[in-house]
Amino acid sequence: MEQNNYRDKEQDRRIEWLEKHYSNFNTEMGSVKQDVSEIKTDVAWLKKFFWVVVAASIGSVIANLFNLLAK
């Protein structure tokens, strides 16, 4: 009977230890999620810049093709 009692106490101790560390893990992961979302919003300008460069490049290719056809 003492062995079962000891096992239950040990399991309780381990569960308490896990719960404490799990709560720490949750709080830290929350801050990581916020940081990642900020990075995603900070990269939005890069996408817009990419489309500006692509549009300008395609426009210059089309203008050069018209220039070649005109000659």
Question: How confident is residue 1, by pLDDT bands cut at 50, 70 and 90?
Answer: very low
This prediction's pTM:
0.42
Residue type, 28: E
- E-only strand ranges, 1-71: none
Task: With a cut of 70, say whether residue 44 has pLDDT above it.
Answer: yes
pLDDT tens digits for range 26-43: 777 777 777 777 666 667
Tokens read off for 10: 């040990």
Mean pLDDT of 51-71: 93
Mean pLDDT of 40-59: 86
Structure-token match 């979302």, residue found: 37
Number of C-alpha atoms within 13 angstroms, CB side, residue 49?
Answer: 5
